[in-house]
Amino acid sequence: MKLSSVLSTVNQIEKSKFINFLDRICTEASSHDKQVAKQFKNIDGEIKNAPSGEVTQLFRLAQPLFQREVKSQLALSGAQAALLVNILSRDGNCVARLSWVEHLYEKEWKQIDAQAKSLKSLFEAAEQTEVYDEPKRLGIYYACLYEALHNDERSNREGKITDEERGILNVLAHKLDVTADNRVAIEHLIDPIPKTGVSDCLNQLREIGIAFVSKKHQTVYVPDEIVALLHRIQSKELADKHLLRILRTFSDAELSNILKSHDKRIRGVSRDEKIDTVYKMGLSVSQILSDDMHGEQSGVTEKKERLKTLIEDLQLALDKLGTTLEERCSLIIGALNSSTEHEFNILSATGYKSLFSTLSQHLPQLPKMLKEEFELEPNQDIDVEKLRALAITPYDILFMLSNEQVKSLKSDMGITRRGDPRQVILESFADATDKLVENYEALARRDLAALKQKNIEIAEADIGIKFEEVTKAIFEELGLTVDEDLRRDINTAKDKADILLSLSEDDIIIGEAKTSKKGDFAKYSTTSRQVKAYVTRCEGAGKRVAQVLIVAPSFSNDFVESAEMDTEVNISLLEAAGLKKILEAYKSRRNPKFSAKLFTKGGLLKADLIAKNI
């Protein structure tokens, strides 16, 4: 979830620690940073009373200072905080119930403890030999880490590892080829990580603005922006899902090359085990791409050609390929780090839901696979809204599957088009949405006969939902922001808004999509009660409702008059044929100019006039 969505979800008390931490940083920064000072002045120095949009803007400006302060505080917080941060910054854990976070912590602690005990016996055996092998290297790192932690005690000070010492240890670990999992286990041997106290440690993380804890929902939230910040602090080049995406495109031989480079066993090891081992080693992605994956005899030109093929395998749209090996590696990493928004935009909200539904039909185990891949609760229901909140894109789902599974899916779905199976599957769902957009008016009128003539099979009970989804898709094609995170947050079992369009961090349009089989839509009193309830909930979440927009096949005269005379809320009306006409005009222009403000005029909108002004 984005920071703005988290701020809208939690209450004032639950976001107070983040606000206080940001306030202190901005107060200090205002004396020497003009941009921060200007933004701080705009809210009169009162962050507590500022809307979430302005708080988010202030955070973006102060982010380098925020990151530096968080890094400093984490260095003082001990191994337990480091372990908890590692869990919360992993894919799928940025929104999780407290009980599930505690379960993940306990599971991780047991793994580290078991590995630490295994290493201890390895060190004892290594002392009996002079061979310079992995046990010997790990023993050297253990001795240096022990000294760094305990040298303070000789001066009667509390034993801790300073930033300078940590930097030296990081270089040492790299030179001795000590993998990330072994580093954590060795540190646990010397300075055991507490097995309990997760709740107290979470409160520590709240104090430094990393985590938000909702007592009402018993849920921990770590905003996407904070996750990215934590990755930078951890020197993590890529999110785990993107590293796994890369590893799954490698051949068995390339995976073996990586393992051989670090003296790991390869005989009798399955492909899945190889991927899992490399993933847990915590290697630098740059090192994997530039060196480890390639054969010993591979030259620079051969390595660059292999990375060119990798770019195609990962379906990355790069403006340039880079002239050097290092530049090509950097471009791949940069493209994956900035890919989430692009990957969500590949399919409309409707297309993503259709994709997930179809994949689940052909792969009934898909929800279970997603839970295992992203460490989600076993009893949790998985839907597209949940996946969006966790920043899990359609690409993430398809790259989670093996090449064989994707090819089998393509065949089972009856897709005969040639090309990369993942890309072809995605394009087929984009095409399905286009077909519904073409027949948007028939959908609005619930005209099943007309839809069947166009080979569109929809159950009558599903037409309302499909019309809502296709309306969202049209808004997205017009370049508008359909805010599914906010919609999920403000919706209740009783009040469920169809569409929320974000105009800015704080301004929104509430959209309602209404079908009608009987002709003109005429239920004004019912509709007005609905939208007024949505307005109240949005305002309660700190949003300003600029307009309510109702889309229907057509409206009765009474409905139009009632909407124009309503003094409690601003309502605009738009006929389905008119919205489609606006989209067609938009797509026909070379450089279209469209603003959501064209929907805020009130009353029955003149689609012809809007189309001319695009």
Residue 533's pLDDT is what? 92
Residues 301 and 154 in one domain: no
pLDDT at 337 over 70: yes
> Of 198, 222, 248, which residue constitutes the final position of a domain?
198
- CA distance linking residue 299 with residue 113, whole number of Å: 41
pLDDT tens for each residue of 91-133:
999 999 999 999 999 999 999 999 999 888 887 766 666 777 7
In a domain, 428, yes or no: no
Residues 221 and 268 in one domain: no
In a domain, 412, yes or no: no
Residues 593 and 512 in one domain: yes
Tokens found for residue 467: 């019309």
Residue 58, domain extent: 3-77+208-233
Report residue 432's pLDDT band, with 50, 70 and 90 as the boundaries: confident
Residues 216 and 250 in one domain: no
Burial of 114 per CB tally in 10 Å (0-12, 13-18, 19+) = exposed
- CB contact set of 8 (below 8 Å; sequence gap of 6+): 52, 486, 489, 541, 542, 543
Residues 477 and 563 in one domain: yes
Residue in 95, 39, 92, 93 with CA at minimum distance from that of residue 65? 39
> Of 338, 360, 377, which residue constitutes the final position of a domain?
338
Residues 606 and 481 in one domain: yes
Residues 53 and 20 in one domain: yes
> Of 278, 305, 338, which residue constitutes the final position of a domain?
338
- CA distance linking residue 139 with residue 375, whole number of Å: 33
In a domain, 383, yes or no: no
The residue assigned the tokens 């949005």 is 538
pLDDT tens for each residue of 587-610:
888 788 888 889 998 999 999 999
Residue 40's pLDDT is what? 67
Q: Specify the range with the lowest mean pLDDT, choosing from 230-234, 236-240, 415-419.
A: 415-419
In a domain, 263, yes or no: yes
Distances (CA, A) of 359 to 140, 196, 256, 470: 50, 40, 31, 20
Q: Are 517 and 555 in contact (CB under 8 A)?
A: no
Residue 161's pLDDT is what? 82
In a domain, 407, yes or no: no
Residue 395's pLDDT is what? 94
- CA distance linking residue 247 with residue 285, whole number of Å: 10
User: Per the structure, how many domains does the chain have?
Assistant: 4
* Average pLDDT of every residue of the chain: 89
- CA distance linking residue 581 with residue 587, whole number of Å: 10
Residues 222 and 260 in one domain: no
Residues 326 and 187 in one domain: no
- CA distance linking residue 560 with residue 544, whole number of Å: 24
Residues 222 and 186 in one domain: no
Residue 574's pLDDT is what? 96
Residue 205's pLDDT is what? 95
The residue assigned the tokens 């989804």 is 469
Residues 521 and 614 in one domain: yes
Distance between first and last Cα of the chain: 32
In a domain, 373, yes or no: no
Residues 9 and 123 in one domain: no
pLDDT at 341 over 90: no
pLDDT at 481 over 70: yes
pLDDT tens for each residue of 371-395:
999 999 998 889 888 898 899 999 9
- Determine how β-strand 507-513 pairs with β-strand 499-502: antiparallel
Tokens found for residue 160: 């801790």
Tokens found for residue 571: 């309502």
- CA distance linking residue 11 with residue 52, whole number of Å: 12
pLDDT at 281 over 60: yes
Angle at which helix 12-29 crosses helix 52-75, to 10 degrees, equals: 80
Residue 46's pLDDT is what? 67
